[in-house]
Amino acid sequence: MNALQILATTVKPVENNPVLNISIFLAFVAVTLIIVIRSGRNNKTAADYYAGGRSFTGPQNGFAIAGDYLSAASFLGIVGAIAVTGYDGFMYSIGFLVAWLVALLLVAELMRNTAKFTMADVLSFRLKQGPVRMAAATTTLAVCFFYLLAQMAGAGGLVSLLLGINDKLGQSIVVTVVGGLMIVYVLVGGMKGTTWVQIVKAFLLIIGAFAMTIWVLAINGFSLSNLLDSAVAISASGADILAPGLKYGANPLDFISLALALVLGTAGLPHVLMRFYTVPTAKEARRSVVWAIWLIGAFYIFTLVLGFGAASLVGADTIEAAPGGVNSAAPLLALALGGPLLLGFISAIAFATILAVVAGITITAATSFAHDIYGSVIKKGKGNPDDEVKVARRTVVVIGILAIAGGIGVQGQNIAFLVALAFAVAASANLPTILYSLFWRRFTTRGAVWSMYGGLSSAVLLIIFSPVFSGTDTSMFGAGVDFAFFPLSNPGIVSIPLGFFLGWLGSVTSTVKESPKLAAEMAVRSLTGHGAEKAVEH
């Protein structure tokens, strides 16, 4: 065992340097707040607040997409999952990356050409505005809420590790502070400020992960084989850490359900799809996709090295005993590699990751409520755009409070797992309607409403009555409470096909036929971009 391995096995959170950690953390917060305030000065119209004035270039938006997509789940959750469960944990990386390709090929550019600000713009283009927008806004808010829970759980565990806070009250205070910062970011900066924070955060996250990856490989003679051998030697599971089944071997159906949710979920995530509305043309949208794929793909390769590096240099027992549980793997690896200074730097990057992602999710949810429910349903499209922005700002505060309450409730859960639940809801409630709207001319309003509400309610109900909520030691209510009857931890294998089925059934049984003219217009616009939003509103 080398010196770093000896250090790693004796690392305890109290040996961190809280003063140094909080200093680096506050410096990052200060810099990002300056960026947000400067960017927010130019928010004059609804397009500025919702879509950053459509002023970002392809490479800039590519970094922002990567910043939005590479959430706390990607950095903290996946590294922890690989460190503890090996091969099964790496499936999160594979699923998230393949999911991005599905979103690119089937949805991204077509939606950008058709919509204005939100996912509901696409879904209601050729259907009845009121019921479809209401359903789309409801599913958007639900997906965003589940995603926010994951980020808040990551924030609580991360800052608890930084400051050596082990009690629930301290972690709850941390989550509250994160929620407050998130509200400030979105209120002041809008989409433009949020996008610039995501660009900076993506750059720092990828550089930090790259540096740690090279460091881990250097310790192992730049040999991936040596790294895996070290992980096997340290792991209590031995060689099983390199084989499938360590986590999902007892229930392969759970793994299939998880895989379906991961691969299909991204194409239904409103906050990722909304990024395509911040560029002026379809050409720039395509450029941003190319940049995003390279950045995201490289990062997920890094997670393999970082995960097994944490397994070999820190050890699964040390990781699971830390305040943040498995989410502490990457920060503890940084501590083992570079001491308190690197720990503070990497943790600050991870915290900036959480702030940027929660800001993007929050503005998406607020935009959906203000634009789709208030502007289109309540005001029936005749409202003042300035009033919409005011409603969006108030919605941000409400969402922030709900996210804080939910984040306190899910402390200790693996955030990659929590994000997988958000993906399942997105794939069940949003994806069927998006694909039917874009590719099936016989799709009807009834089909859209049935699909969205049916997919959403089935996914949420199955999650509530699954081991996620009760019946096990890792459940939200613990092992002492057991009302679970659904055996799988992820509902995707049931709720996703049900969402597609209800969309088909609602359409074929509907007596009201939709306008073939609007269907043809939507097809032309989605494929060519003719009539899509320009860079500046006139």
pLDDT tens track for 274-287 = 777 777 777 777 78
Closest CA to 14 of 166, 177, 174, 171: 166
Q: How would you label 189-204 residue by residue, b for 16+ Cβ within 10 Å and e otherwise?
A: bbbbbbbbbbbbbbeb
pLDDT at residue 99 greater than cutoff 80? yes
Is there a contact between 32 and 352 (Cβ–Cβ < 8 Å)? yes
Q: What pLDDT does residue 161 have?
A: 67
Q: In this predicted structure, which of 1-5, 180-184, 330-334, 338-342 has the lowest mean pLDDT?
A: 1-5
Q: How confident is the model at residue 442 (pLDDT cuts 50, 70, 90)?
A: confident
Domain range list for the chain = 3-32+49-413
Q: Which residue has the higher pLDDT, 525 or 296?
A: 296
Q: In this predicted structure, which of 55-59, 306-310, 500-504 has the lowest mean pLDDT?
A: 55-59
How far apart, in whole angstroms, are the C-alpha atoms of residue 40 and residue 280? 19
pLDDT tens digits for range 244-273? 877 777 778 888 888 888 889 888 888 777
Q: What pLDDT does residue 3 have?
A: 34
Is there a contact between 500 and 493 (Cβ–Cβ < 8 Å)? no
Return left, alpha or beta for 52; rule: phi > 0 is left, psi -120 to 50 is alpha, else beta. Answer: left
Is there a contact between 261 and 490 (Cβ–Cβ < 8 Å)? yes
Q: In this predicted structure, which of 140-149, 160-169, 216-225 has the lowest mean pLDDT?
A: 160-169
DSSP letter, residue 104: I
How far apart, in whole angstroms, are the C-alpha atoms of residue 276 and residue 62? 10
Q: Which residue has the higher pLDDT, 381 or 310?
A: 310
Q: Which residue has the higher pLDDT, 106 or 307?
A: 307
At what angle are helices 329-367 and 18-40 packed, to 10 degrees?
20
Q: What pLDDT does residue 241 have?
A: 84
Q: What pLDDT does residue 27 have?
A: 83
Q: In this predicted structure, which of 26-40, 344-358, 471-485 has the lowest mean pLDDT?
A: 471-485
415: three-class secondary structure by DSSP: helix
pLDDT tens digits for range 310-350? 998 988 888 888 766 787 888 889 988 988 888 888 878 87
Q: What value does the CA radius of gyration of the chain take, rounded to a whole number of Å? A: 22
Closest CA to 345 of 330, 323, 356, 326: 330
Q: What pLDDT does residue 501 have?
A: 96
Is there a contact between 451 and 432 (Cβ–Cβ < 8 Å)? yes
Can you tell me the mean pLDDT for 448-469? Answer: 90
DSSP letter, residue 250: T
- List all residues 6 or more positions away from 116 whose beta carbon is below 8 Å from its beta carbon: 277, 533
pLDDT at residue 444 greater than cutoff 80? yes
How far apart, in whole angstroms, are the C-alpha atoms of residue 174 and residue 177? 5
Q: How would you label 235-253 residue by residue, b for 16+ Cβ within 10 Å and e otherwise?
A: bebeebbbeeebbbeeeee
- List all residues 6 or more positions away from 493 whose beta carbon is below 8 Å from its beta carbon: 253, 256, 257, 260
pLDDT at residue 305 greater than cutoff 90? yes
SS3 labels along 43-72: CCCHHHHHHHHHCCCHHHHHHHHHHHHCCH
At position 19, the amino acid (one-letter code) is: V
Residue given tokens 């939100």 in the structure block = 118
Query: What is the CATH code for 3-32+49-413?
Result: 1.20.1730.10
Sheet strands (E) in 384-435: none
Q: Which residue has the higher pLDDT, 380 or 87?
A: 87
Can you tell me the mean pLDDT for 194-213? Answer: 88
How far apart, in whole angstroms, are the C-alpha atoms of residue 324 and residue 166? 9
Can you tell me the mean pLDDT for 280-301? Answer: 84
How far apart, in whole angstroms, are the C-alpha atoms of residue 182 and residue 147? 14
Is there a contact between 311 and 235 (Cβ–Cβ < 8 Å)? yes
pLDDT at residue 532 greater than cutoff 80? no
Q: How confident is the model at residue 195 (pLDDT cuts 50, 70, 90)?
A: confident
Closest CA to 422 of 439, 435, 406: 406
Q: What is the average pLDDT score of the chain?
A: 80
pLDDT at residue 437 greater than cutoff 70? yes
pLDDT tens digits for range 29-55? 888 888 878 776 666 656 556 555 566
169: Cα within 13 Å, side-chain hemisphere: 0
Q: What pLDDT does residue 373 have?
A: 82
Can you tell me the mean pLDDT for 400-410? Answer: 81
